[in-house]
């Protein structure tokens, strides 16, 4: 489908600078722009590309002031990044979605199925499972006994949802995610470890997204709970009885140990580690590769391992980078002191 600049501007409440009749039928990165495509400029580091890009239309922020003439048509919007996200969501929603039940697949006679369902080949849906309306279950998905999946959720190929877990409405589970595997519960018994049965479940509330190969363990008792709007990246480990608050975002390769409680609207960078039984206050931001070993107050900004307040960390890091030089100066001073003492 083709769209003219004036139509895109009307959709985004933007203004056109250039040819309002120019059409596009695809999108591109600004540095790889091609005729007939739409690109966007949100990061000032990429501004130089706008003067050479072959893209026909570029979305820019309202306050953008070009240093040179642009050959492309500009559409000024309040936020170019938000605008391209809106367009990409619309583009994604227009793509055809699969429907129906492919064979071979297994669906228990006691399972309850909603309308407009898609079940891909080699999927398994266990006893007493309840699947909502417009749910998409891609090939080779395992849905255990008693699992509940809410309306409009998407379960991509190879996901495993263990017995008794609950997936809310509008959730997205990417390939390889495992929901409800046993929590890591063992007790020493002589020279061995005795396994503690994990009899709880995992509850994902509405609009949760779980990245590829991310694992969320079932609770020992009760529920491991991921609240509304949480976004988990790929390769994340969430341990048993953890609670993640609403709209928290966690980047790849992070781990949250058992029974930790994470507040709402937190942001964790990649490879953050949280030890067990801690409480992380709402609004906390934690930089990548940080290790959290103590409770954290609300709206904290932390970095380091063990982590501490970011401004103090930055001051310490300045000194850390100078340690070789400072050590050399210290050795020279010690040498001078010894020479003075010898005299």
Question: Active-site residue 48, yes or no?
Answer: no
Give the C-alpha separation, 195 to 220, whole Å: 11
Residue 262 φ/ψ, nearest 5 degrees:
-110, 130
Q: Give me 60's structure tokens.
A: 């820019």
301, 283 in Cβ contact below 8 A?
Answer: no
List the catalytic residue out of 48, 227, 240, 277: 240
* 123 burial via Cβ count (<10 Å: 0-12, 13-18, 19+): buried
By three-state DSSP, how is residue 59 classified?
strand
Q: How many angstroms separate the Cα of 294 from the Cα of each of 109, 161, 275, 308?
A: 49, 32, 8, 10
Give the C-alpha separation, 201 to 319, whole Å: 47
Give the C-alpha separation, 254 to 236, whole Å: 5
Give the C-alpha separation, 214 to 222, whole Å: 21
Catalytic residues: 240
């Amino acid at each position: 489908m083709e769209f003219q600049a004036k139509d895109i501007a009307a959709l985004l409440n933007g203004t056109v600078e250039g040819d309002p009749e120019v059409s596009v039928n695809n999108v591109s990165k600004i540095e790889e722009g091609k005729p007939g495509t739409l690109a966007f400029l949100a990061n000032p580091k990429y501004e130089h590309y706008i003067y050479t890009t072959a893209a026909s239309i570029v979305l820019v922020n309202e306050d953008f002031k070009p240093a040179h003439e642009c050959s492309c048509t500009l559409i000024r919007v309040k936020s170019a990044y938000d605008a391209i996200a809106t367009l990409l969501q619309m583009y994604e929603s227009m793509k055809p979605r699969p429907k129906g039940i492919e064979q071979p697949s297994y669906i228990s006679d006691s399972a309850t199925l909603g309308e407009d369902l898609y079940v891909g080949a080699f999927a398994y849906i266990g006893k007493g499972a309840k699947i909502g309306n417009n749910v998409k279950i891609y090939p080779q998905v395992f849905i255990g006994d008693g699992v509940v999946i809410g309306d409009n959720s998407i379960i991509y190929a190879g996901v495993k949802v263990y017995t008794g877990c609950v997936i809310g409405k509008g959730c997205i589970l990417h390939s390889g995610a495992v929901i409800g595997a046993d929590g890591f519960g063992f007790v020493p018994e002589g020279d061995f470890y005795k396994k503690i049965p994990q009899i709880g479940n995992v509850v994902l509330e509405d609009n949760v997204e779980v990245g590829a190969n991310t694992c969320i363990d079932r609770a020992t008792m009760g529920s491991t709970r991921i609240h509304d709007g949480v976004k988990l990246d790929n390769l994340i480990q969430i341990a048993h009885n953890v609670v993640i608050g609403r709209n928290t975002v966690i980047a790849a390769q992070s781990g949250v140990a058992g029974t930790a409680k994470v507040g709402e609207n937190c942001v964790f960078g990649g490879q953050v580690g949280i030890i067990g039984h801690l409480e992380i206050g709402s609004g906390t931001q934690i930089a990548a590769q940080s290790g959290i070993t103590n409770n954290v107050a609300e709206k904290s900004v932390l970095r380091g391992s063990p982590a501490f307040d970011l401004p103090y960390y930055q001051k310490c890091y300045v000194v850390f980078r100078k340690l070789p030089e400072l050590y050399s100066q210290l050795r020279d001073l010690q040498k001078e002191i010894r020479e003075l003492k010898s005299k």
